[in-house]
Amino acid sequence: MSIERYRWVIVAAGGLLGCVAVGGLFSLPVFLKPIVQETGWSVAGVSSAMTIGFLAMAVTSMGWGTLSDRIGPRPVVLTGSILLAASLALASLAPSLLTFQLLFGLMAGSATAAIFAPVMATVTGWFDTHRGLAVSLVSAGMGVAPMTMSPLAAWLVSTWHWRTSMQCIAAIVAAVMIPVSLLVRRPPLPAQGDAVASGPAEMTRSAALRSPQFAILLATNFFCCATHSGPIIHTVSYAVSCGIPLMAAVTIYSVEGLAGLGGRVAFGLLGDRFGPKRVLVLGLLAQAFGALAYVVVRDLAAFYAVAAIFGFLYAGTMPLYAAIARENFPQSIMGTVIGGTAMAGSLGMATGPLAGGLIYDSFASYSWLYVGSWMMGLGAVLMMTMFRPFPRTSPQPGSTPMPASA
């Protein structure tokens, strides 16, 4: 198969891997109430497994990304797929809250980190044109999880015990992700004198990590993910607390995910046309007010309306970070750079589960969670307005591209 055609295979494989991985990790919001009711563990305690998971993703993302730069993405993604399936299966057998937090949080979070950064870094290397669309389609695959894995998890837990349901999710993760990970390949080397290089000439990994551009990308992604973390994790529980049945509440999550598909593709196309930074700033501003809108909703129709808008906005912003990274840093260190942004995003995501659980346990209401999300969203806008792209440089005639590691 030609390179032109196989790059779309990479996109499809990345989208499917992301869908199942995110669906496996984000099955916890669906399982939250049944776990609490059956075990007697607190909402904050169970929710903190997600916090631990995001912290584990933060700690390991850059390491997985750097490893994929050196040995290639396939072995990294394959390892992550095996670890994720094992962690979900073992978490279903957890006899205590601490054991559950370590297995579902620490192990599953680390495994999920092995998927995102290597896949997104690989996709950016396969595309010189339509890069924004490509990373958006991979991100859209991740966005399919609320419409596929979440309803499946809700159906399973409505029919069987949550432990059996989680074992079924683990089996699906193994059956899908392990074979699909074998399709992932390194991007081809660029031709001599080809295209415009990204970032300053001969940028080293150390120089990239010390640059203000890298620091601002990390800070922006942190505040961005802190904005939508709480609403994503707790909106199902929030809807249930408003008197909406669980199966109906899960459909709110699905509406959010469906709208997110359109948002990811739309923002990707807009980023290709108008520049990813400009589109990202406007998207972040709109996302902040989308989170705040949840404060006033109580009935199912209002939840659907806000979920559609908020899902479109927060999902649309996410692929733009990879596009901005590829415009400013060399492909040879892309796994490290995207791993770094994933680290910051994971730290931001870690704020929502525990904060939302503590707020609900303290006030029996989620209102302050959405106000806090709005404030974080404004912080993300402020950070991104400070970003200044590197001057773009052209390769010298006759220069030889740096070979990729084996």
Which one is predicted more confidently, 64 or 359? 64
- Summarize pLDDT for 293-325 with one digit per residue, the tens: 999 998 999 999 999 999 999 989 988 998 898
In a domain, 169, yes or no: yes
In a domain, 393, yes or no: no
The residue-averaged pLDDT of 388-392 equals 77
Can you give the pLDDT at residue 200? 55
Q: How confident is the model at residue 235 (pLDDT cuts 50, 70, 90)?
A: confident
Amino acid in the structure at residue 208? A
CA distances from 383 to 69, 200, 215, 273 (A): 28, 22, 10, 23
Q: How confident is the model at residue 396 (pLDDT cuts 50, 70, 90)?
A: very low
Can you give the pLDDT at residue 192? 42
Q: Is the pLDDT of residue 274 over 80?
A: yes
In a domain, 195, yes or no: no
In a domain, 301, yes or no: yes
Q: How many residues does the chain have?
A: 406
* Residue 107 DSSP label: I
The residue-averaged pLDDT of 220-230 equals 93
In a domain, 70, yes or no: yes
Question: How many distinct structural domains can be found in the chain?
Answer: 1
**How does DSSP assign 354-385, residue by residue?**
HHHHHHHHHHS--HHHHHHHHHHHHHHHHHHH
Instruction: Give yes or no for a contact between 315 and 263, defined as CB atoms under 8 angstroms apart.
Output: yes
Q: What angle do CA 100, 103, 108 make, to 5 degrees?
A: 130
Q: Containing domain of residue 240, as a range?
A: 3-187+202-385
Can you give the pLDDT at residue 373? 93
In a domain, 83, yes or no: yes
In a domain, 172, yes or no: yes
Instruction: Give yes or no for a contact between 60 and 110, defined as CB atoms under 8 angstroms apart.
Output: yes
Can you give the pLDDT at residue 403? 39
The residue-averaged pLDDT of 76-99 equals 94
In a domain, 177, yes or no: yes
Residue 190 has a CB neighbour count (10 Å cut-off) of 15
> In CATH, what number is assigned to the domain containing residue 258?
1.20.1250.20
